[in-house]
Amino acid sequence: MTDLMALLTFPSKSYGFTVLCPTLHDSHTTLPSPPPRKVARLDADSDSGLSSRSRAGSNLASRAIASRGPIQVRIDGRLPPPITQRQIDECVALLRRCMRTILTRDTTGPLPLTYERIFSLCRDSVVVHNKGETLAGILKIELDQSVVRLEHEIADDISEGVGFASPLVQALTWFENQIGLLEDVMTYLDRGYLIQTKEAKGIRQHGNSLLLSHVFYDPRLHERLAEVVNEWLTWEWQHEAEHPARLYIRTLISHLRTHAQYNAHFESQYVRRLSEYYTDQAKRISQLPNDPLVFLEYCSTKTDEEAARARAILPDTSWDAVQATTERSLLLDQLDWLANGVIGQLIKRNDAERLKTLIALFDRVAGLPNLVNAFKSFVTVEVSDIVCDVAKDEAMVERLLAFKSNASLALSFSILSSSLAKDFQYALHDAFADGFKRRHNKPAEMTARHIDKLMRKGQGSASDDSFNEELDAALALYRFTADKDVFRAFYHRALAKRLLLGRSASDDAEKAMLKKLKEEYDPEFGMGDHMFRDLALSRDTMTEYHKRIGPDRAAEQKLTTMVLQQSFWPFSSRAAQDAIIPSPMQRELDSFSAFYNEKHQGHKVEWNHALGTVSLRARFAAGQKELSVSLYQAAVLLLFNDISEIPFADVKLHTGIEDAELRRTLQSLACGKKKVLKKRPAGKDVNEEDIFVFNDAFEDPRAKVHINSIQVKETPEESKNTQSAVEGDRKHYLDAAIVRVMKARKQLTYEQIKTETIEAVRRHFIPDVTSIKQRIDGLVEQEYLRRDDEDRNLFFYVA
């Protein structure tokens, strides 16, 4: 229902209270005369009745001012004459003419009525005379005709390319303005009638609907707008500047958004053209001998340029689509080439910032799987190169740790998503494992030897956390190797040497490391616990021995022995007499052997002189020194108590030490940093013709001097022996695993045995197929298994 107040018309002026008549009391008071007042004059096209009443009121006011008399107001109750149908039809016809004039573009004739008069006639026609339906019909006809004329004007325009934007914008702007004008002057038709109908569509809705069907749904307009977008973007790409028609482009986008045609007519064309252009650019650039990093910079620059253009021209709803299209078009066909060429360079340079940009970029174009694969390939190659670099075996672990730390650190600064970080961490683990497979056994051996260095060096001034982190980093490499039994063998051998030779920095650290290895890595590291128990029992045994011999035998009180169970210590048994030692020393050993055999009947004591150490008092010209040497070194040095120079052959004869071992021993005494012997002729190698002389001129600032023995380090022969021992153990592992599998399953084919055996021993090592086949054949010969007579690929367990 129409608001009543909106339908009332109030006079803008009144003279009913122009003069205030004085009262009787006031008449005796002299007051200044009021200033003369101006009377507003009505417009010429105002209502005649209102005009005459205004003139009458003016005269009345004049007379009242002159006479100072009372004002009389008379009300005439007579109705005005009724309006005829003819007058109503004339008003409707007049409104039709106004509509046509408003909706005709470039018309030369004036508007028949003023805006105010159109508004009044529309109000009377709709509210008083109920002509809303008639006017609505007229309006629809005029709107339809106007839109058809506009359609022809747009279609007939001869502008081409981006030049078409200007006449199109002008036409749409004109129509938008005229619709707004109609809404203003025909408010009663728009809001008082059309909105109340079943269609509930006002003037603007009708106009826009017609514009859609006649103009925007025209396929020709779609094609011409595509040309506008294409030519505009091409011009700006070629000239790297703003096109002069940018203002029209912005206004055109505004009109398209008003009519919900922006996505269909502009954004889709814009995005399509972006995709075509940058896809072609990417192919052209990638075919050139360019550095992928240069291409990455190009992608970043172009993405920024397109983002700036979008922010200047397009609505914010299109910004993400523009960036995504630009990046996908540039990268989608180049993901593998770019990932493989860039990620390695960035990690080597430790360029976390650019790596972060690269990862975010690949994430936006759904290329993270390509980047993860490229990262894995890069790490695999780097690890393989380090592992297979035989010349730098001694630095293998340090290089691996440095590379792993560098890669992990770069990723940690570059990846924000936890799920994405897991993908890269898994790739890093798999890549290290693949790299370790390029060379069997050696990475495991070198990892064990690296931990040996750390345990001998000890914590020093470092904090507990820092030292533990260093150990954990080295142990992390253990997880990558498939040859875990090799690591375990070398670690146990190094641990035994540290314990027996007193090279361990801390027993507590050793026990903590063993506990960690046993609980977190492999229960078989429990062998180290047996070593510590043997050492504890040895200390108790020596205490008991020293009490037995008494304080009178002072020389034997200085003897310290370690009684070890051979099954728990990773040393090969040696010949019963592997060296000739001086008689006084031998008597002390024989005395302890007798004591031990008496205490433990049935046990046999075998001496391992290779692990023995001796403290010697030596007198030089510079003074007396206490030398800490191996038992082999001591046997050689004691020869020089009687003779000042001895040929190599005589040394060998009197010590009985094996040739290679003797050469290393003499080398450590005569060719090392601390030369207590001299060699003629001088040189680094020991030959048969060499003669050795006691170096009376030896000097050292310390009173106690330790002379390193070759035995302290892992020699190639010892490494080879350890590897051979591991291979022997593997045969037993495989035999035991195959028998357990067959005992549980009773019968299996060869392929099934192979699969289940690999699964059974994979925590220790990954066997090759040939080894499994050989062990199966061996077990058949030993009658643990039986081959089927008909199917030679089928095996049975023999109880």
pLDDT in tens, 91-120: 999 999 999 999 999 877 789 999 999 999
Counted residue by residue, the chain has a size of 799
Q: Say whether the peptide bond before residue 681 is cis (omega within 30 degrees of 0).
A: yes
In one letter, which amino acid is 513? M
Residue 21 pLDDT: 45
pLDDT at 64 over 50: no
Q: What six digits make up the tokens of 554? A: 């002072």
State mean pLDDT over 456-469.
84
Whether 212 and 176 map to the same domain: the answer is yes
Asked if the model's pLDDT at residue 684 lies above 90, the reply is no
Q: Which residue has the higher pLDDT, 567 or 598?
A: 598
What value does the mean pLDDT take over residues 605-619?
A: 87
User: Cα separation of 64 and 55, whole Å?
Assistant: 14
Closest residue by Cα to residue 780 from 798, 753, 756? 798
pLDDT band for position 613 (cuts 50, 70, 90): confident
40 pLDDT above the threshold of 70: no
Helix (H) or strand (E) holding 787: strand 785-787
Indicate whether 365 pLDDT > 70: yes
The tokens for 105 are 């573009």
Same-domain pairing of 176 and 113 = yes
pLDDT score of 554: 57
**CB neighbours of residue 462 within 10 Å:** 13
Concatenated DSSP letters for 253-301?
HHHHHHTT-HIIIIIHHHHHHHHHHHHHHHHHHHTSS--HHHHHHHHHH
Contact between residue 295 and residue 334 where contact means Cβ atoms under 8 Å apart: yes
Amino acid 327: pLDDT: 92
Q: What is the mean pLDDT of the chain?
A: 83
Q: Give 672's DSSP letter.
A: S
What domain range includes position 793? Answer: 718-797
Q: Does a structural domain hold residue 164?
A: yes
Contact 483, 765 (CB under 8 A): yes
202 and 136 assigned to the same domain:
yes
Identify whether residues 201 and 139 lie together within a single domain: yes
Structure confidence at residue 151 (pLDDT): 93
Do residue 366 and residue 490 come from a single domain? no
Query: Is the pLDDT score of 743 beyond 60?
Result: yes
Q: What is the average pLDDT across 588-609?
A: 86
Reported as a single tens digit per residue, the pLDDT across 420-444 is 788 888 999 999 999 998 998 899 9
Residue 566 confidence class, pLDDT cut points 50, 70, 90: confident
Picking from 714, 735, 769, the residue at the C-terminal end of a domain is: 714
Tokens encoding 612? 């023995």
Q: How many domains does the chain have?
A: 6
pLDDT band, very low/low/confident/very high, at 205 (cuts 50, 70, 90): very high
The answer to whether residues 405 and 369 belong to one domain is yes
Q: Is 636 a member of any domain?
A: yes
Residue 254: pLDDT above 50? yes
| Closest by CA position to 481, among listed 543, 520, 433 | 433
- Is the pLDDT at 173 greater than 80? The verdict is yes
The strand order across the sheet containing 794-797 reads 747-749, 794-797, 785-787
Query: What residues have CB less than 8 Å from 27, skipping those under 6 apart?
Result: none
- Concatenating the DSSP letter of every residue in 609-649 gives GGG-EEEEEEEETTEEEEEEEEHHHHHHHGGGGT-SEEEHH
Q: Is the pLDDT of residue 48 over 80?
A: no
What would the pLDDT profile of 382-400 be if each residue is shown by its tens digit?
999 999 999 999 999 999 9
- Domain assignment present for residue 338? The answer is yes
Whether 662 maps to a domain, the answer reads yes
CATH number at residue 760: 1.10.10.10
- φ/ψ of residue 618, rounded to 5: -120, 140
Could you tell me if residue 284 is inside a domain? no
Q: Are 729 and 704 within one domain? A: no
pLDDT at 62 over 80: no
d(C-alpha 784, C-alpha 799), whole Å = 7
Domain C-terminal end among 164, 190, 218 = 218
Report which of 40, 33, 37, 35 is spatially closest to residue 11, judged by C-alpha positions. Answer: 40
Helices assigned H by DSSP within 458-549: 464-480, 484-501, 507-520, 527-549
User: For the chain, what is the radius of gyration of the CA atoms?
Assistant: 53
CATH number, domain containing residue 551: 1.20.1310.10
- Residue 192 CA: distances (Å) to CA of 102, 261, 311, 360, 519: 21, 30, 42, 57, 87
- Taking residues 613-629, report their average pLDDT: 90
Q: What integer is the mean pLDDT of 759-777?
A: 83
Q: What is the pLDDT of residues 714-725, one digit of tens each?
A: 556 666 777 777
Please indicate, yes or no, if residue 336 is contained in any of the structural domains: yes
Q: Is the pLDDT of residue 324 over 90?
A: yes
Consecutive H or E run containing 704 = strand 704-706
- Tell me, what's the pLDDT at 234? 94
Q: Which of 39, 67, 95 is the last residue of a domain?
A: 67
Q: Strand order in 691-694's β-sheet?
A: 645-647, 691-694, 677-680
pLDDT recorded at residue 317? 93
What's 395's DSSP letter? G
The token duo for 664 is 């290393």
Question: Lowest-confidence range among 173-182, 287-296, 569-578?
Answer: 569-578
Please, which residues have CB within 8 angstroms of residue 90's CB and are 6 or more apart in sequence?
none
> b or e along 474-491 (b: 16 or more beta carbons within 10 Å of the residue's beta carbon)?
bbbbbebbbbbbbbbbbb
Angle between helices 442-457 and 396-414 (to 10 degrees): 90
> Average pLDDT, stretch 775-794?
85
Residue 45 has what pLDDT? 43
Within-domain flag for 424: yes
Say yes or no: 418 and 466 in one domain. no
CB 684: neighbour CB atoms within 10 A? 9
pLDDT at 617 over 80: yes
Start-to-end CA span in the chain (Å):
104
Whether residue 89 is found in the same domain as residue 183: yes
Same domain, 677 and 631: yes
The one-letter code for the residue type at 101 is T
Question: How open is the CA angle 124-10-110, to the nearest 5 degrees?
Answer: 50
CATH of the domain at 665: 3.30.230.130
Q: What was the pLDDT predicted at 416?
A: 62
Q: DSSP letters along 207-246, please?
A: HHHHHIIIIIT-HHHHHHHHHHHHHHHHHHHHHTS--TTH
Can you tell me the mean pLDDT for 204-229?
93
CA atoms within 13 A on the CB side of 203: 28
476, 456: one domain: yes
| pLDDT at position 556 | 59
CB-facing half-sphere around the CA of 756: CA atoms within 13 A? 19
Judge whether 603 lies within some domain: no
The CA-based angle 540-545-548, given to 5 degrees, is 130
In 384-497, where do the E strands start and end?
none
Nearest to 528 by CA among 510, 508, 505: 510
CA 179/CA 217 separation, integer angstroms: 20
How many CB atoms neighbour CB 159 within 10 A?
A: 13
Same domain (yes/no): 702, 727: no
